Structure 1
Amino acid sequence: MAMNKKTLKSLRKAAIAVVVLALAFYFIPILTAIWVVCGLIDVMRNDQKNRNLFERYFLGNGLFTWLLSPFNLIVDLLCYRNPGVWKPEQFPEDYQREINEVLGVFKAGAGRRGMYVYQWYGKHKIDNVPEFNKDYKYIKTIAVSVFSKRESTSWHFGPLRLSLRILYNLIPVQAEIFVQ
């Protein structure tokens, strides 16, 4: 019985994880147990719990999120409850003003897919859009993902929960698009 490429890749990742975890439990058992428990608590916050979610979280693009899980769980305990999806009107008026100012630049204004980072945690990266050269009080990072009509992205994890992301369709689409 021949295995397909995806199954072999999953088995290889699992084998590597077993070896790494075995070594970690041998050399630093308490710390490893804490990290595994924190990761399980963190991943269980997701709505759809299935094999694919656990594989992506612990062995795929969620690995960095798992490594930060103890920190994220402490942040969750210390901060207000994040509802996950915010409506613009839920933000204070000053926040809304800055958000609308930034979004207005894009409404005025293509490639297949790209990411443009104008500010990263308050540091200016690209200065060809003068409206983004100002120092905002509430907005610290301005990054734009650009997709063509039929382009999509894989489901991925955000490593830190200390920030909020605004996902905004510049051209409203009636079908075949959703943000979860």
Structure 2
Amino acid sequence: MTKTLRKSLRKFAIAIPLLALGFYFIPILTTIFIICGLIDVLRNDRKDLSLFSGYFLGNGLFTWLLSPFNLLVDLLCYRNPGVWKLEQFPADYQREVNEVLDIFKARKDEIIADIDANFGAGRRGMYVYQWYGKHRIDNVAEFNKDFKYIKTIAVSVFSKRESTSWHFGPLRLSLRILY
């Protein structure tokens, strides 16, 4: 038996009894979460077994638990095209995004050297300058500014030879700019 098969069997061995308990004790709520999760996951272009498994049994579990909230947000907000172009944002947003990107470009070597000094070889993580408006690392003075629209400034750190796995963002109330 392969490691992947064992892992899948273990996930199902946990999920099936939990679903059975959910349907037994709170059937309406369980049904609502399953329906909301299905609606939410079906928004993806790629619909295959790995998507459903990852969403309901893997790293998308938290996204699934937030699916009723996310679907409500979808109803109340503008339609999210999935991938935005900078030109689609209002001029004030564009100015602020360009200001932050210009700081990264101007101080790129210094930022990379600082990250290398703090993370070492082979380590993964996030190097966070601001987290939801709270200042964390203050060695780039320009990032200490209280921006009106940008609330988190961070660098995802991983090896050049490494790629991230497919993952789900739990909340759709915010947008990430990947540069």
Report the secondary structure of 1:115's partner residue.
strand
The runs of 4+ residues in structure 1 deviating greater than 6 Å are none
RMSD (Å), alpha carbons? 1.2
Counterpart in the other structure of 1:141 = 152
- 1:43 counterpart (24, 41, 44): 41
Report the TM-score when normalising by structure 1: 0.88
- Residue 118 of structure 1 corresponds to which residue in structure 2? 129
Q: Structure 1: which 5+ residue stretches go unaligned?
A: 169-180
1:132 aligns with 2:143: yes
Residues 70-109 of structure 1 correspond to what in structure 2 (within 5 A)? Answer: 70-108=68-106, 109=108
Which residue number corresponds to residue 119 of structure 2? none
Q: Partner residue of 1:161? A: 172
Calculate percent identity across the aligned residue pairs: 80
TM-score, normalising length from structure 2?
Answer: 0.89
Aligned-residue offset at 1:29: 0.6
Structure 1: distance between partners of 2:10 and 2:171? 28
Which residue identity is paired with 2:12?
A
CA–CA distance in 2 between the matches of 1:83 and 1:58? Answer: 23
In structure 1, C-alpha distance between the alignment counterparts of 2:153 and 2:76, rounded to whole Å = 26
Residue-pair matches, total: 166
In 2, the alpha carbon distance for the partners of 1:58 and 1:153 equals 19
- Select the structure that is richer in helix: 2
- Consecutive unaligned residues of structure 2, counting only runs of 5 or more, are 117-121
